[in-house]
Structure 1
């Protein structure tokens, strides 16, 4: 089913999947690893020591309630026990399931790489609030979400779900937010990367994790992930 999902997303957005973004930014050799962020050639973001012993990849969908719950439970513990020590890194990859997911993913990528994780946290932590209007949206609203050029669709979603308000609180102007919502090249790449995750990393739900290159079967929560991280750090 997820194999079809990636193709549906590609078709839905009517964009061509392009090659990965440019070279990642150089990592800091010393200092606060919690302030070290690298944007990778596959449009993911890596937090921490890029040469760490333990490398955790997270596949996240912004409309997934389990992903929001995982972020709230794990973020502080991961930053203290994994990232700060330099022994571990976290790489977040967007897994886009529909137009709302794509809209939020584009907004988390808005701005310099070092802004990503704060954007990411802001949308996951407020998910219950901004996703609530979906339940009462009219057919006319939904038609605006899924018809027409990408920028008009994403802006309609951002307006109806009050995502502009979140971005304004994060320091983004309306013009900056609109530019990010109109990034058809990035949207194409994110859809392509989602399909690759299904094909290559066996992602069958979110959140999903890859630890040191090995997909973690049956691991969808902090309670299930934590002992595996601790074993890897030993």
Structure 2
């Protein structure tokens, strides 16, 4: 019969082994748990950074769209104001010519002095109106130069030059039509197939042909032939 101490040895060994195994398992589980926590924390941080990056990109895209929309609206309002001022300026200048004719038709004598005085005053008022509208047009053109495309700058300047060169009503309507068509084309199509300057030239030729007028040489000379887009490196 084995003595108690003989029985205690294997029992003690088994207990020690069990304790040792339990300790090892506990340490492993703890370390594995810490590793998993570190991995989870790293994944959570990565997910957080990815979300922050997506949020930042979304905000930047939204701000870019807002800027583009604001610029689009400003350009639209500028083109409308230029159209209005150009149209008004043509009418005001015609009124000046009308008032000049009225004044010239009044005899220059004592009996018509009062009538000439009234006509002279009306002529001066007509000239002042031309000055005011001209200032409006210059301001609109300045905005086009800073905010508009090269094509719209050319379309607006061609219209002004046509009027200054004494174009008749039919020709002016053609230049006006080409300006409006170009503005609509630029504002409605963010990815145009035809370069805007080429589109304006084609529109101008079409409107002039409909009016039974050839395109003025000074206008056609403003565009390369055959048409090639402007070189940004040279313009800079």
Select the structure of larger CA radius of gyration.
Answer: 2
Do the structures match in fold with TM over 0.5? no
Higher strand share: 1
Question: Which has the larger share of helix?
Answer: 2
- TM-score, scaled to structure 2: 0.32
Higher relative contact order (CA 8 A, sep 6+): 1
TM-score, length-scaled by structure 1: 0.32
